């Protein structure tokens, strides 16, 4: 398997609720790939959280303007 395929599969496991420790303990990929996939997953989560916060704040602002 390619490194990208492995990282994608590891991120999918994290999306499905596996903890970082579970993914590390699976031993299906070298540790550096697992660490990289976890880092990318966490970065993606931070971006998603920031986007949701921004949308929420915009919606609250729009509701205040309309009322």
Check residue 54 and give its pLDDT: 97
Please check the confidence at residue 67 and state whether its pLDDT lies above 70: no
Check residue 63 and give its pLDDT: 93
Per domain, the residue ranges of the chain are: 3-66
Q: List the one residue out of 6, 49, 66, 59 whose CA is nearest residue 31.
A: 6
What backbone torsions phi and psi does residue 22 show, to the nearest 5 degrees?
A: -60, -45
Q: Distance of CA 33 to CAs 37, 49, 53, 59, 64, Å? A: 6, 24, 30, 39, 47
- Residues 67, 59: Cα–Cα separation, whole Å: 12
Question: pTM above the 0.75 mark?
Answer: yes
Query: How many angstroms separate the most distant Cα atoms in the chain?
Result: 56
Please check the confidence at residue 1 and state whether its pLDDT lies above 90: no
Write out pLDDT tens, residues 27-49.
889 999 999 999 999 999 999 99
């Amino acid at each position: 398997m390619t490194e990208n395929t492995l990282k994608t599969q590891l991120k999918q496991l994290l999306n499905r609720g596996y903890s970082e420790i579970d993914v590390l303990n699976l031993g299906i990929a070298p540790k550096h790939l697992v660490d990289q996939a976890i880092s990318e997953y966490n970065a993606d989560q931070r971006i998603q959280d920031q986007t949701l916060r921004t949308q929420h704040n915009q919606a609250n602002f729009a509701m205040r303007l309309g009322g």
